[in-house]
Homo-oligomer: A and B are copies of this chain.
Amino acid sequence: MALSKKPVTGMKDILPKEMEIRDYVISVIKDTYGKFGFTSIETPCMENIANLTNKQGGDNEKLIFKVLKRGEKLNVEAATTEEEVVDNGLRYDLTVPLVRFYSNNAAQLPVPFKALQMGNVWRADRPQRGRYRQFMQCDIDILGEASNLAEIELILATTTTITKLGFKNFQIRINDRRILKAMAAYAGFAESDYDNVFITLDKMDKIGVDGVMAELQEKGYGDPAQCEKYLNLFEEIMKSDDGISLLMDRLGDFLDGDMMTSFREIVDSVKATKADSFELVFDPTLVRGMSYYTGTIFEIAMPEFGGSCGGGGRYDKMVGKFTGQDVPACGFSIGFERIVLLLLESGFEIPKAPSKVAFLIEKGVAGEALCEVIQKAQEERAQGRQVLVARMNKNKKFQKEQLQSEGYTEFVEYYKDPLKN
């Protein structure tokens, strides 16, 4: 029987040490988001294939693990296309399932509805270091809240959680798709070029103003004067203490004044909490890839980690794509796997682990003597202690060393000959 010991390609087994950190992160997340009134929900890992391939998922739709039809519905021999043999797919994110869930259950949910989802998603991506084809996502979303209270709560809940996990000196970068568009309009770009202009703009932190300028001209978006007008505005904001006021002043009618007042209110409300673990920064170069965003967008930047460690934004038009009726929606996803990786690599120790004791029982201890040991272990556990009961190995020294590496600090040995106890 040639059975494979390895996990399937691109996926991994999770060993106790990493699981301990994962479980800890999950408990901090659930506890902290709970304090903000987010309630957990879960959807099946599988969705109807039509729901997953409706263009909301962008490139992720190319990476779906598809599930074969079963029973009489399946006829491989007669089939000529994938569509004929597939009915479901594994979800590639938690947003599409959330929107389906909301459409299905809205009548039983409060308004606004604050959802917390933690669950695995699957993408048949090219395997690479630190990225796997099955990974955990952790999303919070508020549905049915049109005001900026949604953004404020999402940012505070997320930053409070990240701070509780021990991270300091991180940044929340914030922008708005409408600011992006107003700036492009002010510079005079053609509306059909906006999305492409933003793709180039998104590289600002890597290639700088000159690099963006070169790429815009090389790709033929706008004339040199337009590009210069565009990039000058970015440079002005970067030098300014108050980029928001500067933009309101410069952009005039290109920008909705109420929108900017609301945008500033998000920034002010978060800053008013005077948290010292992070900084909230207006970043006009922040783009975020997904096309479904309609307003505010944000991202977590961590010094320990090159790239983004989470992000989100407002997507007011997506529920409507499912139900025909728009519902305001805003979400924030934290990079669970990256956070676990950072904690693992930093040698993070889970705070106040309870003391752990191992009872080692010689092979000959049996009958009544064994009963007594077991009783003793149960009593200690009832008092909240972690007690491992194990048979003594031949190499007791090695066994104890191994247990020490698992955090057992106390050992009690039981021998058949009571004199040895």
Residues of B near A39 (CB, < 8 A) are 16, 19-20, 406
- Chain B's closest residue to A96 (CB) is B3
A1-39 near B? 1/0 per residue, CB < 8 Å: 111111110011111100110110001001000111101
In the complex, whether A61 has a CB less than 8 A from a CB of chain B is: no
- Per the bound structure, the CA–CA distance linking A23 and B27 in Å amounts to 10
A356-400 near B? 1/0 per residue, CB < 8 Å: 101001010011101110110010010011111111010000010
Q: Is the CB of B70 within 8 A of A67?
A: no
- Per the bound structure, the CA–CA distance linking A209 and B114 in Å amounts to 56
The interface stretch among A101-109, A193-201, A243-251, A341-349 is A101-109
Given contacts A5-B322, A11-B44, contact A30 B35 (CB under 8 A): no
In the complex, whether A128 has a CB less than 8 A from a CB of chain B is: no
A95-135 near B? 1/0 per residue, CB < 8 Å: 00000110111001111101000001010100000000010
Partner of A40 from the list B19, B48, B124, B402 (CB cut-off 8 Å) is: B19
Q: Is the CB of A81 within 8 A of B88?
A: no
Q: Is the CB of A156 within 8 A of B82?
A: no
In the complex, whether A189 has a CB less than 8 A from a CB of chain B is: no
Chain B min CB distance to A4 (Å): 5
Residue among A8, A322, A366 with max Cβ neighbours from chain B (10 Å)? A8
Given contacts A68-B85, A112-B390, contact A156 B374 (CB under 8 A): yes
In the complex, whether A50 has a CB less than 8 A from a CB of chain B is: yes
Residues of B near A104 (CB, < 8 A) are 5-7, 13
Partner of A84 from the list B12, B14, B76, B81 (CB cut-off 8 Å) is: B76
- Per the bound structure, the CA–CA distance linking A127 and B167 in Å amounts to 46
Residues of B near A5 (CB, < 8 A) are 100, 103-104, 322-323
Residues of B near A66 (CB, < 8 A) are 67-68, 70
Q: Is the CB of A13 within 8 A of B269?
A: no
Q: Is the CB of B65 within 8 A of A42?
A: no
Q: Is the CB of A45 within 8 A of B269?
A: no
In the complex, whether A241 has a CB less than 8 A from a CB of chain B is: no
Q: Is the CB of B70 within 8 A of A41?
A: no
In the complex, whether A308 has a CB less than 8 A from a CB of chain B is: no
Residues of B near A59 (CB, < 8 A) are none
- Chain B's closest residue to A2 (CB) is B50
Partner of A268 from the list B109, B361, B367, B399 (CB cut-off 8 Å) is: B367
Given contacts A41-B13, A51-B3, contact A272 B67 (CB under 8 A): no
- Per the bound structure, the CA–CA distance linking A65 and B378 in Å amounts to 41
Residues of B near A268 (CB, < 8 A) are 367-368, 371
Partner of A68 from the list B7, B8, B86 (CB cut-off 8 Å) is: B86
In the complex, whether A147 has a CB less than 8 A from a CB of chain B is: yes
In the complex, whether A240 has a CB less than 8 A from a CB of chain B is: no
Residue among A84, A147, A149, A322 with max Cβ neighbours from chain B (10 Å)? A149
Binding site for B on A (CB under 8 A): 1-8, 11-16, 19-20, 22-23, 27, 30, 34-37, 39-48, 50-51, 54, 65-68, 70, 74, 76-77, 79-82, 84-88, 90, 100-101, 103-105, 108-112, 114, 120, 122, 124, 134, 145, 147, 149, 152-153, 156, 160, 265, 268-270, 272-275, 321-323, 356, 358, 361, 363, 366-368, 370-372, 374-375, 378, 381, 384-391, 393, 399, 402-403, 406
Q: Could you list 13 A-B pairs, sorted by A, with CB under 8 Å?
A: A3-B321, A5-B322, A13-B41, A13-B104, A14-B43, A15-B109, A23-B30, A45-B134, A67-B67, A114-B388, A149-B391, A152-B389, A268-B371
Q: Taking A45-B45, A76-B81 as given, write out 13 further A-B residue pairs in contact, using a Cβ cutoff of 8 Å, ordered by the A residue number.
A: A3-B50, A5-B100, A5-B103, A14-B42, A15-B109, A19-B40, A19-B42, A44-B134, A68-B85, A147-B391, A149-B361, A149-B391, A269-B370
